[in-house]
A and B are shown apart, each in its own frame.
Chain A
Amino acid sequence: MSNQKMINLKINDITVTVPEGTTVLEAAEKVNIKIPRLCYYEFPGMPKINRIASCRVCVVEIEGRKNLAPSCATLVTEGMIVKTNTPRAVKARRTMVELLLSDHPNSCLTCPKNNNCDLQKIAADLNIRKIRFQGERLRFREDESSFSLKKDLEKCIMCRRCEVMCNEVQTCRVLSAVGRGFGVVVSTAFHLPQKDTACTFCGQCVSVCPTAALTGISYIDQVWEAINNPTKKVIVQTAPAVRVGLSEEFGLPDGEPITGKLVAGLRRLGFDAIFDTNFGADLTIMEEAKELIDRITKNENLPILTSCCPGWINFIETNFPDLLHIPSSAKSPQQMFGAIAKTYYAKKIGIDPKDLVVVSVMPCLAKKYEANRPEFSSNGIQDVDYVITTRELVYMLREAGIDLAQLQDEKYDSPLGESTGAAVIFGVTGGVLEAALRTAYEWLTKKELKEVNFTDIRGLEGIKEATIDIDGLKLNVAVASGLGNARKILEKIQSGESHYHAIEIMACPGGCINGGGQPFKHGDMTLIEDRMRGIYKEDRNCKYRKSHENPEIQKLYQEFLGEPGSHKAHELLHTKYFKR
């Protein structure tokens, strides 16, 4: 920084000194002037900023320039004189918002983004009380073709955040601007239904969409119906990242793990039993660690790739069909939980699996797709019936008048509610691999692992690499989060450059804590960091830190599965991948 050239300028008569290359918008923030903006977006955890300058809301007056300048995309120059709130700039800014609103349904009261919408917020911030322009509005049919993603293109304001996310960050290249002139909108090629595209349903587009142009498919109604159906027993499982993802929605500190309150809230909603996906995660480790050890000791089919992220699985199936032999065949924790619930658990409580409804609460939209994969059902009964996101759970709790902050902690039900710290870290990038290593170490060396924290593979960087010493055996591992990073790793494997033994991949940058189904962060990366800290805090507080120490898991193998990798385990807990 020291040899960086500094630039002096004046913004609203305040002198600012910033490094060369800073934008006017950033420089203004240095002196606490927040220039209103809309399309601008800092992608959390990525050196990527949406500076497409398309909305023109952040325009300011710069002395000597003929036209107003978009502050988000205008670099500071020495001696520049900027005025952010001149009548000319304010009028133009308001006109931009009015124009956007003139081509918007303005159905805020019934919109899924009501109270959570950047367009609504800017309209309020700019005191828009009247839309002076009326005229034709673009009309599109809603796309609800997939299990995960809903497109309501009439609400698209062409900020292109989703496009940057889909193309540049996730490299899925599904969304882009389509058409010309007034008819332009961000959509799929030829407006193909989302289900017919290469979409992985990671939902990252949804998390950056300022309006409700992109949202998730909701299963709230189905869940309420099941809960209220007296002939059904409805059980629920909660993913690791959920417990750190909703505290701020109830006025609790960002990222605070509120597992006990979450359990209490779910019980009040009327679920018959509250279980934990973490149980499934421990089970996943039992199977995956076994497979890891087998493949390492035989030194074949390496590297092994984790397989618990459904967005990532969709990605490899679509983009790297030649590599489908390398992901672990172990099902994801959600699906292992579902399979065990509908067999072991149903039998144990003496219920016909078709009367047992399994609901998942996930930080994820791809989980909705995963639950609906045909291979995850038997005799026409899905292993997991409905998947709702963390966001949907918040909506349900609000609707039922349940304020989690006011509830006393409660415990999960038995037997599928017991879990370890190894399971909870599944919620953050690096966690699945760390959990697998904790178990694999002890199984390989037959020694106790004293230091369970594999800090080399922690943190929010997109790609992490480490060499892990397992009592002399050097394991080369890598962790990637974000599909663009996954692509880099997979291309290395394809070209033969890769020297890894094991790789963890998560579709969402940072892992499930930043999943496409989590409450909106509005570009605030500190929230993701807080959730990460919450996850590790929860891990530290666990009685057991290694999956194979989970007593309920041990009992499950004794009573039902035999041992990891057994025939029964393969039948229930493993899967195949298909070219898409």
Chain B
Amino acid sequence: MPKLNSISDLKNLKEKSLLNILMRKGEIKKDVKKSILVCGGTGCQSSNSKKILANLKEELAKNRIEDNYQCLMVGCFGFCEKGPIVDIEPDGVFYVSVKPEDAKDIITEHIINNKKVERLLYIDPATNQKIERQDDIPFYKKQMRIALRNCGFINPENIEEYIAMDGYFALAKSLFELGDVKTLEEVKKSGLRGRGGGGFPTGLKWEFAKKEKNDQKYIICNADEGDPGAFMDRSVLEGDPHSVLEAMAIAGYVIGSNKGYIYIRAEYPLAIERLKIAIKQAREYGLLGENILGSNFNFDIQLSYGAGAFVCGEEIALIASIEGSRGEPNVKPPFPAQSGLWKKPTNVNNVETFANIPPIILNGGEWFAKIGSEKSKGTKVFALAGKINNVGLVEVPMGITLREIIYDIGGGIKNNKKFKAVQTGGPSGGCIPEKFLDIQIDYDNLTAIGSMMGSGGMIVLDEDDCMVNVAKFYLEFTKDESCGRCTPCRVGNKRLLEILQKITDGNGTMEDLETLKELSEIIKDTSLCGLGQTAPNPVLSTLKYFYDEYVAHVKDKKCPAGACSKLLRYFIIEEKCVGCSACARNCPVSCISGEIKKKYTIDQSKCIKCGACIQKCKFGAIIIQ
């Protein structure tokens, strides 16, 4: 492929590549080559979607119709709960939980005989009805896809499909139509705020870096996605890598930088692979490198790998890590915009933030600012997880309520259990109780109720979850992932965790609850970076909204959710026990005694609460209190 030397070269290439996309969208009615799209995200790949694709191709070949279809791997559809996904376009038929052996039926029934493969259709748990089309599935109904616009629709390993979707036209518009100042204006007008957690206005951040006078500046894409359960950045990079490359080039053009780094965690091999392919293609097409599209603007991108330290998601730690130093935050100022990578002005944005940039430039900042709430514009991707029916990745307009996400999109709580809380914002976020389910989600509202937007993790908790235990879980994470530099974060969080442990072990005192609160507040007040300043949030928010649960652990020595094993008691109900001795024979510490055909009893002082007896009892005679 010769390099694209002008905007008309880019337009010509789009024309050439457009046909397949138009057929997929259903905008061409004649001689349509249907698209068979197989999810190629990490989740579906680990459920064998590569094999599904291979089998589909094999079946097409067997029937000698391979040339009449586009059979390809695309990025993540988001509906991970039901993966692997196979989507047939333009029919819009959405097959879920597909196995490699289903390939034959998909080809022979759907493709050749034009009959839906009924058993692979999604069944709505609310109505028990089968739903054929993706758009009709409640999980997708309230979504609005901007950052994820191309994920699950184009082949991420083919730059021409991206270009056919108007890819690199935002860059061209900046270079030839808007210029750097007006491009920045559009980003500022859009009201886009950083999607990595901080929520700092992106346009303002760019402006700071632009103002600095220096012969060398850098753009960094923060792809060190580390929140447990969050994978929106991975999905964007796997499903639409060019959108990030294009946005970085636009940012480079605005601030006056010719060099970008993508700092990506090495645990994302597929995203790295797709990025490598994308960068190579973009260079071949002249969309990265020197004199992009004949504009005299030069910009290139290099990958830099993280070794798995959570704190390297903090921008100064990240920069230190790229430089080969220990990943550690530092005192601000100076901010990276003044002195960042190699002490040069540097602009760091997160993957999802970048993914929003090309549509903003193409459609204008005002278009974006119309979406969302007053202070938080646009959409946000959330990773839904926990005790919820539809686990997966969803992109929704800001301002939507938690209830809509959890019940309408997420399909409600698993196994009809009772909702208890939703934890947002990753390990530094807080737990939100039921009374706030109707607040509109945006940066400020979440912060006001003691949680945060973070990178968009959303973990749903039900009645079986102990809130003290939940706080402990998150603190365990931050305690280990602290860089250890400052005292409050290094030692303070450890001590918090130990107090929580004491409480869940049944040894807590009311004074401990006071200490927890006081120490949490001091840690927030004194820590050096965002990690320490937010690490006690799970403790504070659970103390605030679920204080009774703490008190139950401390005063009654009981865990209301029945999750803290050391506070549990196993009892044998006399009326139900038939004296079969199964429990006694399986007790690893021999603390159950009795005679055959008589009632058995458990010695509470020896019981280790392993639950082996309950599993072995066929008569439901053992209960936990």
Say yes or no: B481 contacts A180, CB within 8 Å.
Answer: yes
Cβ of B604 within 8 Å of any chain A Cβ, yes or no, is: no
Cβ of A161 within 8 Å of any chain B Cβ, yes or no, is: no
Residue among A59, A88, A99 making CB contact with B491, cutoff 8 Å: A99
A160 CA / B485 CA spacing, docked (Å): 9
* 25 sampled A-B residue pairs with Cβ under 8 A: A51-B331, A54-B485, A55-B486, A59-B525, A95-B526, A96-B488, A132-B515, A133-B495, A133-B515, A134-B498, A136-B494, A176-B326, A177-B328, A177-B485, A180-B309, A180-B483, A181-B481, A181-B490, A182-B479, A182-B480, A182-B482, A182-B490, A184-B484, A184-B485, A184-B490
Say yes or no: A96 contacts B526, CB within 8 Å.
Answer: yes
- Chain A: which residue is nearest B480 at the CB level? A181
Contacts of B326 in A (CB 8 A): 176-177
Contacts of B525 in A (CB 8 A): 59, 67-68, 88, 92
Distance in angstroms from A94 CB to nearest chain B CB is 10
Within 8 A of A (CB), among B475-508: 479-488, 490-495, 498
A157 CA / B486 CA spacing, docked (Å): 10
Say yes or no: A182 contacts B491, CB within 8 Å.
Answer: yes
A132 CA / B512 CA spacing, docked (Å): 10
Say yes or no: A91 contacts B522, CB within 8 Å.
Answer: yes
Distance in angstroms from B129 CB to nearest chain A CB is 50
- Chain A: which residue is nearest B325 at the CB level? A176
Cβ of A502 within 8 Å of any chain B Cβ, yes or no, is: no
Residues 60-71 of A, flagged 1 when their CB comes within 8 A of B and 0 if not, give 000000011010
A55 CA / B484 CA spacing, docked (Å): 11
Contacts of A180 in B (CB 8 A): 309, 480-484
Say yes or no: A99 contacts B488, CB within 8 Å.
Answer: yes
- Whether A92 contacts B486 in the complex (CB less than 8 A), given A99-B491, A180-B481, comes out as no
Say yes or no: A182 contacts B486, CB within 8 Å.
Answer: no
Contacts of A52 in B (CB 8 A): 485
Top 9 A-B residue pairs of the complex, sorted by shortest distance between their CB atoms: A184-B484, A99-B491, A135-B498, A182-B494, A73-B331, A133-B495, A181-B480, A56-B526, A181-B482
Distance in angstroms from B267 CB to nearest chain A CB is 16
Q: Which range holds the interface residue count of chain B? A: 20 to 34
Cβ of A370 within 8 Å of any chain B Cβ, yes or no, is: no
- Whether A182 contacts B484 in the complex (CB less than 8 A), given A68-B525, A102-B495, comes out as yes
- Chain B: which residue is nearest A56 at the CB level? B526
Contacts of A184 in B (CB 8 A): 482-485, 490
Cβ of B193 within 8 Å of any chain A Cβ, yes or no, is: no
A315 CA / B428 CA spacing, docked (Å): 45
Contacts of B400 in A (CB 8 A): none
Cβ of B528 within 8 Å of any chain A Cβ, yes or no, is: yes
Cβ of B533 within 8 Å of any chain A Cβ, yes or no, is: yes
- Chain A: which residue is nearest B511 at the CB level? A132
- Chain A: which residue is nearest B528 at the CB level? A53
A182 CA / B482 CA spacing, docked (Å): 7
Distance in angstroms from B7 CB to nearest chain A CB is 47
Cβ of B519 within 8 Å of any chain A Cβ, yes or no, is: yes
Q: Assuming A133-B515, A160-B485, what are 11 further A-B pairs, CB within 8 angstroms?
A: A56-B528, A68-B526, A95-B522, A95-B526, A102-B491, A133-B519, A177-B483, A181-B480, A181-B481, A182-B484, A184-B490
Say yes or no: B526 contacts A92, CB within 8 Å.
Answer: yes
- Chain B: which residue is nearest A75 at the CB level? B333
A134 CA / B528 CA spacing, docked (Å): 23
Cβ of B524 within 8 Å of any chain A Cβ, yes or no, is: yes
Contacts of A135 in B (CB 8 A): 494-495, 498
Contacts of A91 in B (CB 8 A): 522
Residues 297-331 of A, flagged 1 when their CB comes within 8 A of B and 0 if not, give 00000000000000000000000000000000000
A392 CA / B482 CA spacing, docked (Å): 39
- Chain A: which residue is nearest B488 at the CB level? A56
Residues 86-126 of A, flagged 1 when their CB comes within 8 A of B and 0 if not, give 00100110011001101100000000000000000000000
Cβ of A374 within 8 Å of any chain B Cβ, yes or no, is: no
A494 CA / B427 CA spacing, docked (Å): 51
Distance in angstroms from B510 CB to nearest chain A CB is 15
Distance in angstroms from A400 CB to nearest chain B CB is 40
Distance in angstroms from A457 CB to nearest chain B CB is 34
- Whether A53 contacts B526 in the complex (CB less than 8 A), given A99-B491, A132-B515, comes out as no
Contacts of A103 in B (CB 8 A): 491, 494
Contacts of B487 in A (CB 8 A): 54-57, 96, 99-100, 157-158
A31 CA / B132 CA spacing, docked (Å): 77
- Chain B: which residue is nearest A99 at the CB level? B491
Cβ of A401 within 8 Å of any chain B Cβ, yes or no, is: no
Cβ of A230 within 8 Å of any chain B Cβ, yes or no, is: no
Cβ of A350 within 8 Å of any chain B Cβ, yes or no, is: no
Say yes or no: A92 contacts B484, CB within 8 Å.
Answer: no
A158 CA / B326 CA spacing, docked (Å): 14
Residues 521-548 of B, flagged 1 when their CB comes within 8 A of A and 0 if not, give 0101111100001000000000000000
A183 CA / B483 CA spacing, docked (Å): 9
A177 CA / B482 CA spacing, docked (Å): 13
Say yes or no: B522 contacts A100, CB within 8 Å.
Answer: no
Say yes or no: B490 contacts A158, CB within 8 Å.
Answer: yes
A55 CA / B528 CA spacing, docked (Å): 10
Distance in angstroms from A219 CB to nearest chain B CB is 34
- Of residues A92, A182, A183, A184, which shows the largest number of chain B Cβ atoms within 10 Å of its Cβ? A182
Distance in angstroms from B110 CB to nearest chain A CB is 51
A183 CA / B490 CA spacing, docked (Å): 8
A70 CA / B528 CA spacing, docked (Å): 9
A183 CA / B494 CA spacing, docked (Å): 10
- Of residues A102, A135, A180, which shows the largest number of chain B Cβ atoms within 10 Å of its Cβ? A180
A91 CA / B526 CA spacing, docked (Å): 11
Say yes or no: B495 contacts A54, CB within 8 Å.
Answer: no
A315 CA / B422 CA spacing, docked (Å): 58
Contacts of A551 in B (CB 8 A): none
A338 CA / B492 CA spacing, docked (Å): 52
- Of residues A56, A91, A134, which shows the largest number of chain B Cβ atoms within 10 Å of its Cβ? A56
Say yes or no: B533 contacts A67, CB within 8 Å.
Answer: yes
- Of residues B309, B490, B528, which shows the largest number of chain A Cβ atoms within 10 Å of its Cβ? B490
Distance in angstroms from A1 CB to nearest chain B CB is 23
A91 CA / B523 CA spacing, docked (Å): 12
Cβ of A79 within 8 Å of any chain B Cβ, yes or no, is: no
Within 8 A of B (CB), among A170-211: 176-177, 179-184
Say yes or no: B492 contacts A99, CB within 8 Å.
Answer: yes
Contacts of A181 in B (CB 8 A): 479-484, 490, 494
- Of residues A73, A133, A134, A158, which shows the largest number of chain B Cβ atoms within 10 Å of its Cβ? A133
Contacts of B493 in A (CB 8 A): 182
- Of residues B480, B488, B495, B533, which shows the largest number of chain A Cβ atoms within 10 Å of its Cβ? B495
Contacts of B528 in A (CB 8 A): 53-54, 56, 70
- Chain B: which residue is nearest A96 at the CB level? B487
- Chain B: which residue is nearest A184 at the CB level? B484
Distance in angstroms from A93 CB to nearest chain B CB is 9
A136 CA / B491 CA spacing, docked (Å): 10
Distance in angstroms from A550 CB to nearest chain B CB is 51
Contacts of B333 in A (CB 8 A): 75
Residues 320-354 of B, flagged 1 when their CB comes within 8 A of A and 0 if not, give 00000010100101000000000000000000000
Say yes or no: A177 contacts B522, CB within 8 Å.
Answer: no
Distance in angstroms from B526 CB to nearest chain A CB is 5
Within 8 A of B (CB), among A114-161: 132-136, 157-158, 160
- Chain B: which residue is nearest A73 at the CB level? B331
Say yes or no: B484 contacts A59, CB within 8 Å.
Answer: no
Contacts of B491 in A (CB 8 A): 99-100, 102-103, 133, 182
A247 CA / B487 CA spacing, docked (Å): 37
A54 CA / B487 CA spacing, docked (Å): 6
Contacts of B495 in A (CB 8 A): 99, 102, 133, 135
A133 CA / B491 CA spacing, docked (Å): 10
Contacts of B484 in A (CB 8 A): 158, 177, 179-184
Distance in angstroms from A51 CB to nearest chain B CB is 7
Distance in angstroms from A228 CB to nearest chain B CB is 45
A100 CA / B488 CA spacing, docked (Å): 9
A385 CA / B494 CA spacing, docked (Å): 47
A192 CA / B481 CA spacing, docked (Å): 23
